[in-house]
Structure 1
Amino acid sequence: MVTADDVRRVALRLPRTEEALVRDHVKFRVRGIVYVSISPDETLMGFAFPKEEREALVASEPEKFVMPLPSDERYQWVRVRMAAIDETEMRELVVDAWRMVVPKRVAAAYDAT
């Protein structure tokens, strides 16, 4: 099981990331675009994910992944149960979500380091 502190450690190392607290949700964003959000009870982590692929992701592992709230369905977003993932998978989800919101050159520079 991963914690909010585990997510924070990964996210804050990514270039241009800032942390914010919005309505009791810890959010990580780049220039105002949120790419990861942690629920107030720290049981769910929402993350940027291609909208056209999320139904397949949720269907493949429904015990792990959850569709976004109806109000968030218009966004490229999906949620994961934090107790169902390990640190390696969390890191992959966070970094991939971050890649969706930064310029390609920023992601390429990160990959080069």
Structure 2
Amino acid sequence: MTDSPAPAAALERIRSVALALPETSEKLSHGHPTFFVADKQFAQFRDDHHGDGLTVVCVKTGGSDEQAMLIEANPDFYGLPAYLGPSGWVSLDLTGDDLDWSLVEDRIARSWELAAPRRLLEAGGR
């Protein structure tokens, strides 16, 4: 990760959203802050991953159809993340002055729902 304040602030915002969801935890996975529910990954923060110059959060989608639709609808915001893309994940670009944090927060929560065990969803989820 770079030391610039923008990625650090984005990580803190992602962290506060992810860890506010039921039974979540954070640990490093492949050098990136990664968020889990019941030992299943649901979000990963990446800054300059393999020198790509991007600051993103990667989240699960409902599958390849949803993934393709999101990327096609807004390719400047959604991307295909390295390693996670083949499993139906998308990356959300966290740069730009007009970033819609409500959308980012909703996508993180949706990803949590896709990874959370049934017992959490039946108990009312988020």
1:12-27 maps to which residues of 2 (within 5 A)?
12-27=19-34
> Which consecutive unaligned segments of at least 5 residues does structure 1 have?
none
Confirm or deny: 8 A CA contact 1:25 1:37 kept in the other structure: yes
Alignment partners' CA distance in 1, 2:115 and 2:47: 23
* Counterpart residue number, 1:98: 112
| Cα distance in structure 1, aligned partners of 2:21 and 2:121 | 9
Aligned length in residues:
111
Matched residues in 2 for 1:92 and 1:104: separation?
19
Cα drift, residue 108 of structure 1: 4.6
* Contact persistence 2:79–2:91 (CA under 8 A): yes
Contact kept, 8 Å, 2:56 with 2:93, in 1: the verdict is: yes
The one-character-per-residue Cα deviations of 1:77-97 (angstroms, maximum 9, x if unpaired) are 111101253221111011100
Q: Decide which of 38, 43, 62 is 1:36's aligned counterpart.
A: 43
TM-score (norm 1): 0.84
* Paired position in structure 2 for 1:48: 60
Partner of residue 11, structure 2 = 4
Paired-residue identity, %? 23
1:65 aligns with 2:78: yes
C-alpha RMSD of matched pairs (Å): 2.2
TM-score with structure 2 setting the length: 0.76
Q: Indicate the SS of the match to 1:57.
A: helix
Within 2, Cα distance between the matches of 1:28 and 1:61? 25
**Change in CA separation of 1:108 and 1:31 when aligned onto 2, cut-off 3 Å:** closer
The structure whose RCO (Cα within 8 Å, separation 6+) is larger is 1
